[in-house]
Amino acid sequence: MKQCFQYTEGLVRRLTLEDGSALLKIPRFVLSNVESEHLGAECWSWIYSCVSSVYLDDELLWHQADSVA
């Protein structure tokens, strides 16, 4: 699990707006097939909680379903 978060600080800095507020979710997160093979279930859980869609190269792997009120 610790390996999943080793780059979190840098990622959060890149996803912070100029006024210091953070974006709610990453709209599109792209991984290569090679990278995805090394991710455990805990990492995938973290990714799904922080993004709206996940792509493996150009293929959509997962998209957050819009909530219906």
Average pLDDT over residues 13-37: 75
Average pLDDT over residues 7-13: 64
Please tell me the distance from the alpha carbon of residue 11 to that of residue 6, in angstroms, as a whole number: 10
The single residue listed with the structure tokens 């379903």 is 65
Contacts of 27 (CB under 8 A, 6+ apart): 51, 52, 53
Q: Is the predicted pLDDT of residue 54 greater than 70, yes or no?
A: yes
Q: Is the predicted pLDDT of residue 67 greater than 60, yes or no?
A: no
Coil, strand or helix at 24? coil
Specify the pTM: 0.61
Beta strands in the chain (DSSP E): 29-31, 53-56, 59-63
